[in-house]
Structure 1
Amino acid sequence: MKNHFILLIIITLTFGCTDKKSKKVSNNMSNSSEYTEYNGTASLTQGIATTIAENIYSCERGRKTDIGEITSTDGKKWIVPSETNYTNHNFPFAADLFNSCEGKNYATPQEALSNFNDSNTVVIDKDGELFTTYIFADNYFEMFVNGVPIGKDKVPFTEFNSSVVKFKVQKPFTIAMKLVDWEEHLGVGCEPNRGKSFHAGDGGMVAVIKDIQNNIIATTNENWKAQTFYTAPITNLNCVSEDGAYRYSKNCDTNGGQDGALFYALHWELPNDWMKTNFDDSNWPNATTYTNQTIGVDNKPAYTNFTSIFDDSENDAKFIWSTNVILDNEVLVRYTIK
């Protein structure tokens, strides 16, 4: 009886351990299955990127502005949150409309313009018209006109700032901008916020273009083109879809979490000459517009000090982004002014 009892215990322990191992293998296979079933056009990464540059800009109350690199399943290397021209000295910085990081706390457009150095005006055409563009971007922008670099954001992340750029060009001309929602958890589009270690941040950009007579000739709206090239965090690859050039993540969870080690990201290569006038953006989606409340600017003086421009009673500019203002982190936008 004693020998039978010992044998029974051995059998029980053996099957118990086998069962636990089987469950572990099954879970790994489930993750692998989801991983391999993705059949979209993006390159796929999972987890946190390797930091390759730290704090490319520092602000006393700002978030870290690191840059990372990550390799996708197809062997490509990706710079996150974006490969920018921030450290390129040949790409001019935009002038400050408001920048608390550097003490440029201008209260009105007039005060900001009085401090604008006219030597910073970019001349594309010597006999062109003079235009002024006012920009608030969450978080970072680079602006081109007819493929020529016009201005880049001084503050890649926070504190929130706003910018003004001036240029001379003949009509018609094409504005092209790279927009980046920066991230602290590189490679998964997240930052610590609102009680979560991995909170999915959001983007948004608004711009107003005026002529030398101070007339508004263009604002950001649904007629701009907007395409995403980096989407994260994705917790379930089954939530994403594509329809031609349309890249949708509207059915994806935006809640983030406390651990992003298994979060996915989707990356698309930027097309050549996307900033040039003759680039064909006809198959890109139109920009999606968002309200001030959705972007959350009502407590940001970088915006509220200049509502006379951004929220003009007769020509109210709209915040624009791609179809998902939370998960899409690198977005290209374009618009031609005739």
Structure 2
Amino acid sequence: MNQYFLLLVTLALAVGCGNNTSKKATSDLVKKSESSSYNGTASVSQGIATTITEDIYSCERGRKTDVGEITSTDGKKWTVPAQTNYTNNDFPFSADLFNSCEGKNYATTKEALSNFNDSNIIEIDKEGEIFTAYIFADNYFEMYVNGVAVGKDKVPFTEFNSSIVKFKVQKPFTIAMKLVDWEEHLGVGCEANRGKAFHAGDGGMVAVIKDEQNNIITTTNENWKAQTFYTAPIIDLSCVSEDGNYRYSKNCDTNGGQDGTSFYALHWETPTDWMKTNFDDSNWPNASTFTNQTIGVDNKPSYTNFTSIFDDAENDAEFIWSTNVVLDNEVLVRYTVK
């Protein structure tokens, strides 16, 4: 009787293990099928990246700011959320317009400018004019003028800050910026927020450039060029599409969820000379614009303390990004000031 019982138990375990193996194999087959069904120009990765650098910046009330690496299905390695110059000492930091992480809680532009050190003005042309850029970025930016690094964001993630960048240059000049929406769950573009462990974050950048006479010479608007190079989270690869150099994810689910460990991401290689004046951005899409309400800045003093600049009655700057402010996490933008 005992031998008969042991035989039944053994058979049951064998069947159970067989079922588990079958379920796993089926799951892997589905994932492989979904990945292989994508026929766009991006490299595809799935799941969480490996953390390679922890805490590149710390703020008492800020989110943990790490950097990761992930390998796509075509064998390429990608830095997420982006390859940046944050730890590059040769790339200058911007000055603070508002930075609560470092106690720079300036109430007015005048107060912030009074603390600006003129030795931080980046000279591009000796006979040029000094211009001042006021920038609010969600979350991080690096700014070039005529290919020269002029300023990077001090706070890569949160608390939300705003920045001043001054540079000396002759017109015309070309502004090029790398914009990054940072992430807590590296490789899938997510953070814990609004009751979800894997919530898709959003981006957005607004800038105003003034001359030495305090006149606005340009603001961010739909005339800027913007191209995306990292999109996540993607739950179903069939939701994305491309039309020439337009990379669309507008039909993709942005709801996130409690478990995003199987979410996909799309990666495109950035041109090495994208920040140079002679780079041809004619086939890039124009920037998409977004309202203050969409970006959600009405409760952020790093923005609201300076609405006299960003929301000038006669020259209101607009938030810009690529076509999807939620899913596109690394975006390059360009504009030439005539």
Give 5+ residue unaligned stretches, structure 2. Answer: 1-10
Which amino acid in structure 1 is aligned with residue 274 of structure 2? W
Give the whole-Å Cα distance in 2 for the aligned partners of 1:160 and 1:319: 15
Query: 1:297 is matched with which residue?
Result: 297
- For the structure 1 residues 212 and 20, does the alpha-carbon distance in structure 2 shift closer, same or farther, using more than 3 Å as the test? closer
User: Is 1:211 aligned to residue 211 of structure 2?
Assistant: yes
AA aligned opposite 2:209: I
Instruction: Quote the residue 1:322 is aligned against.
Output: 322
The alignment status of 1:288 with 2:283, answered yes or no, reads no
1:110 and 2:110 correspond: yes
The answer on 1:150 being equivalent to 2:150 is yes
Task: State the alpha-carbon separation in 1 of the partners of residues 164 and 241 from structure 2.
Answer: 37
Q: Which secondary structure state, in structure 1, belongs to the residue aligned with residue 57 of structure 2? A: coil
Superposition map of 1:127-276 within 5 A:
127-276=127-276
Q: Residue 54 of structure 2 aligns with which residue?
A: 54
| Count of matched residue pairs | 332
The CA distance in 2 between the partners of 1:250 and 1:179, in whole Å, is 19
- Give secondary structure in 2 for the equivalent of 1:186: coil
CA offsets, 1:111-144, max 9 Å, x none?
Answer: 0001100000000001001100000000000000
SS at match of 2:101: helix
- What is the rounded CA distance, in whole Å, between the counterparts of 1:271 and 1:19 in structure 2? 48
Relative to the length of structure 2, the TM-score reads 0.94
Displacement after TM superposition at 1:22 (Å): 5.5
Q: Distance in 2 between matches of 1:190 and 1:20?
A: 30
> Displacement of 1:20 after TM fit?
7.5
Q: 1:190 to 1:209 in 2, by over 3 A?
A: same
What are the Cα deviations for residues 248-274 of structure 1, in whole angstroms up to 9, with x where unaligned?
A: 000000001111110000000001210
Residue in 1 that maps onto 2:5: none
Question: Amino acid of the residue matched to residue 96 of structure 1?
Answer: D
- Partner of residue 309, structure 1: 309
Query: What residue number does 1:7 align with?
Result: none
Give the CA deviation at 1:34. 1.0
Residues 22 and 120 (structure 1), Cα distance of their counterparts in 2 relative to 1, 3 Å cut: closer
DSSP-derived class of the 2:106 partner: coil
Q: SS where residue 56 of structure 1 aligns?
A: strand
1:123-167 CA-to-partner distances (Å, cap 9, x unmatched) read: 000100110000000000000000000000000000000000111
| Alignment match, 1:3 | none
**Distance in 2 between residues matched to 1:15 and 1:304, nearest whole Å:** 64
C-alpha spacing 1:25/1:131, structure 2 compared with 1 (3 Å): same
RMSD: 2.0
The separation in 2 between residues aligned to 1:19 and 1:52, in whole angstroms, is 37
Structure 1 unpaired stretches of 5+: 1-10
Partner Cα separation in structure 2 for residue 178 and residue 304 of structure 1? 24
| Aligned match of 2:63 | 63
Other structure's SS at 2:90 match: coil
How far the C-alpha of 1:25 sits from its partner, in A, is: 4.1
Structure 1 segment 54-93 matched on structure 2, within 5 A: 54-93=54-93
What's the TM-score, normalizing by structure 1?
Answer: 0.94
SS in 1 for 2:64: coil
Name the CA shift for 1:21/1:100 in 2 (closer, same or farther; >3 Å). closer
Q: Is 1:101 paired with 2:116?
A: no
CA distance, structure 1, for counterparts of residue 17 and residue 56 of structure 2: 51
